[in-house]
Amino acid sequence: MIRFVIRTIGLLIIAAGFAALVVDGTRSIAGSDLQIMAFGDLCVTVFPVRFPLLQPLVERQIHPLLWDPVLLTLFRLPAALVLGLVGLGLLWITRRRRGQIGYTSRP
């Protein structure tokens, strides 16, 4: 049951990544230059009140080095790439294991 829920969430996140890719393509064609939405811009758009509170929380509660080199790099990546990788990661985690075809007689 939990595998089904996680796979469904993974597929929805992949669909959101594809939608972000289509939006980036549409904006690029309309603007006649390459325009790519960063993951941080998407987070600000989706969570306008909560996202600014993330930096002080991470710097005080976890560690300041997690914010500056790690999370800032993540937030600068294209949104379609991040969403696609997260969705694929969820699908990969919940994949079915291959059954063993045979067995070895060695101890």
- Does pLDDT of 6 surpass 90? yes
What is the share, in percent, of the chain residues with pLDDT greater than 70? 94
DSSP state of 78: B
Distance CA 9, CA 40 (A): 20
CB 92 within 8 A of CB 12: no
Which has the closest alpha carbon to 40: 75, 79, 80? 75
- pTM, full prediction: 0.81
Q: What is the pLDDT of residues 62-92, one digit of tens each?
A: 888 888 888 999 999 999 999 999 999 999 9
Please state the length of the chain. Answer: 107
The chain-wide mean pLDDT, for the chain, equals 90
Q: What is the pLDDT of residue 107?
A: 65
Q: In which residue are the tokens 């560690």 written?
A: 63
